[in-house]
Structure 1
């Protein structure tokens, strides 16, 4: 197709630039150093199997490829605000860079480090492939078995598939089937709910009808139910691509049609599986950079229209806690609560404590529910003489309705007319009106 030749010209131009990768890059020299210190024998961690990792939105993901230390990972306090830390990379038959560093650590070091990360609410995973690998020529079952063995042997919480074999995806047409098989085999060995399994496609691969097998829409149709979320790379696809809130969220260019967040969702991918990926600094990508303050506004706009998937950055340490704190400031402030981490019991505990059918007591000071307001999680309202608590952000979802956005506390005697804390009058919203219609379509298509 004509689109292929256009992309080929873009890729050829990129190859002439100092940064040659289309997306996350590994440092070849670092990789060799990591391989040099990695022991040959593998130590299997006792009780290494991950239990109860969280895959609930939002997720805030950092990749770690840039070499820092041969024998340790960053202290989790430096990653406050992130929920997932991805070690890069595991290849089809080896581990390099910081995945190699993790392998080279002793079993005791790995166990202590992982326990510290999990205690801080951070899942520790490995990322596979990256821009340095074209794995499609190898048997997907064999590759999946190696990756799963790495996760299990070295006690990690899951794996991210950062597949960047552009020729196989865009020309030969072998990628969709290969990725589908890889994902199925990984899921067989890394069960859902116990291990994280994500993919990190470039955003244009979601453009419908543009790629063999319908690109990542084809991957999602085949194995999307097995994938916890997509760390979508909204960068390195052209200097004018995904650099404004509108281009990122609602109106991608004609070059990569229907590849913004809400457009992808409208084509059948669940909205809250679409994590927004961006380079942490201008040095982390060839193009597509949005400064963290502006990105915070885009994230808040998307959240106001029902999106809650989260944000991914390439890469730590260029973007650490300060970066993600700024990006989350207008939506999920760090330290402000409302984000599920590695525990999967939080929601069920909260639900059981707020689903009482007993007496809610006096509702003095609690406003009646209003269709004119949008409610963040934790808001309380009265409706039908009942006290209700919002278990998620919601807009025009009546308590007791089919959405399940409200938990029943119990009956109460009185109600006030003041707005509940945190509720936002719709008339005061400052979001792009285009998001309203774009956000409505995905609800019917989510599995």
Structure 2
């Protein structure tokens, strides 16, 4: 359904609260706590021969968040649809095994095939529908992979307004109840949307409006982020001020900036870094006070061995 189009993603995860209508208090929610940083996130969209549902948790050792892709405005597809199709007992078994291993199961929404703002979808309705899916299928939260480039590139505020309302409603629709940090909410904007080149503010405006509701981001671009310098401290003049520490300097909390990369060259159109170089960049960032974590697109091209290599210098297990 989606190609990892640019090089590194910065996504935002947020614990969110309240309910769709009446208060929901369920002691079972206590096992659904948002993981603590660092966050090690892996997406799954690709069909894997012989597998129905997510992989055995042993295949993703070293990660603490697994994202099923995608939920669309039209409903679940790909791995999200597989999650729906398995029977209740099997689904509950997966939830138990993942939680026992300290791994949160979330769904990723939208991707490159959905343009909810351009297509005229109401953000409140979409947010409530998505929240109902998360709750109904016993997931730990949602990642918002918004790729409505037409709306954002219009620079008229429509994308920023849509995302602001959508995020606020999601935070209200997914309950915390008497607990804190019960549900994860993330956004996966392309890092150029943090550039100050956008007259309407792009994701800098979204962060200003609802950043307090968000746990972490991912960054991505064309060739800006394929060296440690470009990734961490100085992006190219094409998308200025969109490296990791430059985004933080623009007002996004450094502890919310999760470095994201494609697993292989075939998983992206650009931006690939091998695990040796990426591990060195991760260590450099860690030594400068960053510890948010790493995301990868996607399983099975990345699995336990990929994250072990990337974590090896800064976050050895």
Tell me, yes or no, whether TM beats 0.5. yes
Match of 2:21 in 1: none
Would the aligned equivalents of 1:126 and 1:160 in 2 still touch at CA under 8 Å?
A: yes
Instruction: Tell me how far apart the structure 1 counterparts of residues 274 and 4 of structure 2 sit (CA, whole Å).
Output: 21
2:189 maps to 1:201? yes
Match of 1:324 in 2: 307
Match of 1:119 in 2: 100
SS in 1 for 2:299: coil
2:210 maps to 1:223? yes
Cα 1:247–1:311, aligned 2, differ >3 Å: closer, same or farther?
same
Cα 1:20–1:96, aligned 2, differ >3 Å: closer, same or farther?
closer
Instruction: Tell me how far apart the structure 2 counterparts of residues 212 and 147 of structure 1 sit (CA, whole Å).
Output: 30
2:165 maps to 1:181? yes
Would the aligned equivalents of 1:241 and 1:252 in 2 still touch at CA under 8 Å?
A: yes
Instruction: Tell me how far apart the structure 2 counterparts of residues 61 and 91 of structure 1 sit (CA, whole Å).
Output: 20
Match of 1:67 in 2: 47
Instruction: Tell me how far apart the structure 2 counterparts of residues 233 and 91 of structure 1 sit (CA, whole Å).
Output: 22
User: Would you say how many aligned residue pairs link Structure 1 and Structure 2?
Assistant: 290
The Cα shift of 1:85 comes to 0.2
2:156 maps to 1:168? no
Instruction: Tell me how far apart the structure 2 counterparts of residues 211 and 178 of structure 1 sit (CA, whole Å).
Output: 16
Which structure has the higher relative contact order (CA within 8 Å, separation 6+)?
2
Instruction: Tell me how far apart the structure 2 counterparts of residues 318 and 126 of structure 1 sit (CA, whole Å).
Output: 19
Instruction: Tell me how far apart the structure 1 counterparts of residues 81 and 268 of structure 2 sit (CA, whole Å).
Output: 23
Instruction: Tell me how far apart the structure 2 counterparts of residues 142 and 297 of structure 1 sit (CA, whole Å).
Output: 43
TM-score by length of 2: 0.87
Deviations 1:317-348 (A, max 9, x none): 001100000000001112xxxxxxxxxxxxxx
Instruction: Tell me how far apart the structure 1 counterparts of residues 30 and 108 of structure 2 sit (CA, whole Å).
Output: 16
2:256 maps to 1:273? yes
The Cα shift of 1:21 comes to 6.4
SS in 2 for 1:213: coil
The Cα shift of 1:106 comes to 1.2
SS in 2 for 1:162: strand
> In terms of Rg, which structure is larger?
1
Would the aligned equivalents of 1:140 and 1:178 in 2 still touch at CA under 8 Å?
A: yes
TM-score by length of 1: 0.63
RMSD of aligned C-alpha atoms?
1.8
Q: Which runs of 5+ in 2 are unaligned?
A: 8-25
2:93 maps to 1:109? no
Instruction: Tell me how far apart the structure 2 counterparts of residues 212 and 178 of structure 1 sit (CA, whole Å).
Output: 16
